[in-house]
Amino acid sequence: MVIREQNRIRTTYYNEAIRYMENARETLKKAGKEDRFYVDEKYVKTACGIAYNGVLKALDGYLLLKGIEKKKGRKDIEYYQDAIAIIDRKLLNYINSAYKVLHLNGYYDGIRDARVIAEGFNLAYSIIERIKPAA
């Protein structure tokens, strides 16, 4: 893959993933906070779902950069785990943690602890940074 194509992939997927994260942050603001807990579970669930999808966008770009073509249709977490496990074990740890915090605890369970959600967002940004285009 030529450098121009790599830069195009990085830019496209990075910008899209960041757009998801910005939308997730805006949605999370609507949840309101009391002490260290968000008030409205619906907005927390929605924000975590959006952030998790941002992670998946970034991972699609990362895999393309590594020469792994995008699989058609719906992909489950095992698809990403299997592909990343071969390439980057450290990144796999971030993915597993982001999956648990954002997708399972945040989206499905609706955990409202602001510190847990903040850590999930930090994990998402760490993953997304892997495809950040050169300045």
Model pLDDT for residues 74-92, shown as the tens digit of each residue: 889 999 999 999 999 999 9
Whole-model pTM over 0.75: yes
Q: How many domains does the chain have?
A: 1
Residue range of the domain that includes 110: 3-131
Model pLDDT for residues 30-67, shown as the tens digit of each residue: 999 999 999 999 999 999 999 999 999 999 999 999 99
CATH code, domain with 38:
1.20.120.330
| Token pair 């597993």: residue | 96
Q: Cα–Cα distance between 48 and 29 in angstroms, integer?
A: 12
pLDDT of residue 72: 80
